[in-house]
Chain A
Amino acid sequence: MKKTLALLTVLAATLTSLAAKEFTLLNVSYDPTRELYADFNAAFVKHWKEKTGETVNIQQSHGGSGKQARAVIDGLEADVVTLALAYDIDAIVEKGKLLPADWQKRLPHNSSPYTSTIVFLVRKGNPKGIKDWDDLVKPGLGIIPANPKTSGAARWTYLAAWGYALKKNNGDEAKAKEFVAKFYRNVPVWDTGARGATTTFVQRGIGDVLVGWENEAFLTLKESNKGEFEIIAPSVSILAEPPVTVVDKNAKRRGTEALAKAYLEYLYTPEGQEIAARNFYRPRLDAVAEKHAKDFPKLNLFTIDEVFGGWRKAQKTHFADGGVFDQIQQGNR
């Protein structure tokens, strides 16, 4: 009897260990992070294998941040989400009830392992002489910013423009609205995401300036012919903090909680931060940030909390149905 029990125990342990050897993780991310997570995933898979002996297959999904959040709410079984803005994850909390409301406290820096900002990408020689936000509202200029209704980058862009106008006009909201209305009057094409906007500007040759993610701008410089494009850092921009989190209910159902947590925590390690910096995301770790300080322009950055009172307030005021952006669009027709 004892021998049988021992044998069964060994068998169970063997089967369990065999069964646990391979995992799949789904990371639902926003549009321009393809290259970042291609690099990061390779590093994490190697790290996890060395640490635990387990094989991890990481699947990626990319798209406009708002669209991706809706997909997760509608049933896309993400183990982790790495989106463009906290509000999109809050929407998953409220409508999908897939993770707790205090998710942002679970990882350092409000669950944002890297930051970015909004800059301008112009064509060779900067033919339209763009230096700052004021140049973007000149009549006849073509701006490519993506659609704030679907794109996280576009929402950051909108808030950056608004923040600039507020600072310039001593907090005058009406003047800020007027400025942003002029800004969007110069938009000829509305892409749903940041990557689509880059395609429109870079590959299709439309517009005079791409206004969007700093990392996307650097990636474009890297992938295009030398000198074909230039980055213009505006006088003021917004500190964008793309957050990451485990989607608790999905991870629990799929048995990937520990793995998902470790995956996100790896973003904060020196290697994870190096990978972020190499892909033009501003690292959080001081040592890595110092090492790559020269790679990023020095910008005067404000936070969403400082100017708008946080994402919930900004979303409700500006991007909800009937909000300021909708009013601007209505006025611009």
Chain B
Amino acid sequence: MKAINKMTMAAALAAQVGLSGVPAQNQDTNAAALLRRISELEQKVKILERKGELSEEASVEKAKTTPLVTIGAGGLQASSADTNFVFALHGVLQMDNRTFFNDGNIQGNDSFLLRRARPIFSGTVFRDFDFFFVPDFGGSTVQIFDAYLNYHYAPWLQLRAGKFKVPVGLEQLQADRDTLFNERSLVTDLVPNRDLGFQLWGDVAGGVVSYAVGVFNGVGDGRNTSNADFEDDREFSGRLFFQPFKKSKAVALQGFGLGVAGSFGNTSSNATGLSATTGGTLPGYATDGQQQFFAYNPTTGTVTANGGHWRLSPQGYYYYGPFGLLGEYVMSSQRVSRSAAPLTSANLEHTAWQVAASWVLTGEDASYNGVTPRRPFDPRNGKWGAFQIVGRYTELDIDNDTFPLFSNPLTSASAAKSWSAGLNWYLNRNLRLNASYSRTTFTGGGDAGTTSPATVTRQPEEVFLTRAQLAF
């Protein structure tokens, strides 16, 4: 409009100055022509403005239905415009190295390995229904680790069904990409890994209280379900976790969390194969180097799970600034029976505990969900990511009543104690390098023998572990 006003003035001026000496009639004609021209231009401007408005309206309308696709540190995500439908692709790739020292010449344990190679497919349909599917290609066979549906009515009320982590172990529940060390502590030997079942869960008041209660097929200590259940009994699990100061103004206390978890089930004797508390040559409990130091391997007969199995785990953590501390204690009590004389049963109660501490040297915040570097790795610009030192002490104690009827004390350890120290380098949110040293000592075992656990418990385990991890 300013332009139009200027033109109007210019036209008037031209009519006054430029046309002096022109007959009045011609001046009127020229002025009329100029006015017509101005009117035409005014219309053109209005038309352009209106087209702009309509174009913007059309864009707004289109945005309501245009799907959104994003790709970045958080992976690939596509969602409908109303976000009622979402599909996301994430992944975890872990390339490890294990180097053992003074291991009594055990063959084949020094190795590079693809510890985890997991594409993670997740998403939402119809706003309230989430799905999660995680196969793993890292081992010698492809396994399905997670496969579940989740209905979220509200953050405080959700229902999950499928295969997923049983809500017991604090470190076990931590995402694989965020654990402090390559391997979880000895505590994790006693808690269930993943199982098939249903779980009601939620975060109340923004996570001040978290609860989970579920019913599952039942799975042995440290085990994943084999996707089949050979018995009719179920296992019930539950967890209650408090972060009482999460919303408080006391910043130093916001990262404090304390809880308790447990499980109870009944495992009936079944000779063809049980969720793996059976022993013999099957894996029992393993060290940081993933070597078996205990098995249900009596000199005669086999051992089966036969009766009640309960677990109890007080647990907690504290994070404040770069400092992190995590601790948990687990009791796992399993009734077992022998298949050969003497035909006897016993309730065996094993315990384990750990304390793990961390400090982010570069000042970023430590958390249960990992570290996000403030200055992602970019050496050309003097940015090196984040560095974190980590330390852990953990013990696992086997019930004395286990020996000798349910396990050979000459080969299986009755206790293991482990300390670890390491350095984690977070190049950015997606890339991380770990290096740690772990030393585990054993009580009992260590006799002659050519297989684990004898070969493992003969000397302390000293292992240097490294990892290159890509997670998105």
Contact = CB atoms under 8 A, between A and B. Distances in A.
A192 B43 CA distance: 20
Contacts of B46: 204-206
Contacts of A206: 43, 46-47, 50
Contacts of A58: none
Interface string A189-226: 11110001000100011100000000000000000000
B50 A204 contact: yes
Nearest to A196: B54
B51 A189 contact: yes
How large, as a class, is the contact surface on chain A?
10 to 19
Nearest to B65: A74
Contacts of A188: 43, 47
Contacts of B28: none
Contacts of B43: 142, 188, 206
Nearest to B40: A140
B378 interface: no
A191 B47 contact: no
A71 to B, nearest CB: 11
Interface in B30-54: 43, 46-47, 49-51, 54
Contacts of B47: 188-189, 206
A204 B54 CA distance: 12
A75 to B, nearest CB: 11
A178 to B, nearest CB: 25
Given A142-B43, A206-B43, A191 B54 contact: yes
A149 to B, nearest CB: 12
Nearest to B58: A192
Contacts, number: 22
B88 to A, nearest CB: 25
Contacts of A200: 50
Contacts of B57: 192
A40 B351 CA distance: 76
Interface string B184-210: 000000000000000000000000000
Nearest to A140: B40
A222 B26 CA distance: 42
Contacts of B51: 189
Nearest to A189: B50
Contacts of A189: 47, 50-51, 54
A74 to B, nearest CB: 9
A294 B106 CA distance: 108
A198 B57 CA distance: 16
Nearest to A188: B47
A234 B407 CA distance: 104
Most chain B CB inside 10 Å of its own CB: which residue of A188, A191, A196: A188
Interface in B53-96: 54, 57-58
Contacts of B50: 189, 200, 204, 206
A191 B50 CA distance: 9
A196 B50 CA distance: 10
A207 B58 CA distance: 21
A190 B54 contact: yes
Contacts of B49: 204
A191 B51 CA distance: 9
A205 B54 CA distance: 15
B45 to A, nearest CB: 10
Nearest to A63: B61
A200 to B, nearest CB: 6
A256 B49 CA distance: 44
Contacts of B54: 189-192, 196
A192 B50 CA distance: 13
A204 B52 CA distance: 12
Interface string B306-335: 000000000000000000000000000000
Nearest to A205: B46
A191 to B, nearest CB: 7
Contacts of A191: 54
Interface in B330-367: none
Contacts of A192: 54, 57-58
A189 B46 CA distance: 10
B60 to A, nearest CB: 12
Contacts of A205: 46
A205 B42 CA distance: 10
A192 B47 CA distance: 15
Contacts of A196: 54
Most chain A CB inside 10 Å of its own CB: which residue of B43, B50, B51: B50
Contacts of A204: 46, 49-50
A76 to B, nearest CB: 13
A137 to B, nearest CB: 18
Nearest to A191: B54
B56 to A, nearest CB: 13
A205 B50 CA distance: 10
Interface in A154-208: 188-192, 196, 200, 204-206
Most chain A CB inside 10 Å of its own CB: which residue of B54, B57, B58: B54
A184 to B, nearest CB: 15
21 contacts: A142-B43, A188-B43, A188-B47, A189-B50, A189-B51, A189-B54, A190-B54, A191-B54, A192-B54, A192-B57, A192-B58, A196-B54, A200-B50, A204-B46, A204-B49, A204-B50, A205-B46, A206-B43, A206-B46, A206-B47, A206-B50
Given A142-B43, A189-B54, A191-B54, 9 more contacts: A189-B47, A189-B50, A189-B51, A192-B58, A196-B54, A200-B50, A204-B46, A206-B43, A206-B50
Nearest 9 CB-CB pairings of A with B? A188-B47, A206-B46, A204-B50, A189-B50, A200-B50, A206-B47, A206-B50, A204-B46, A189-B47
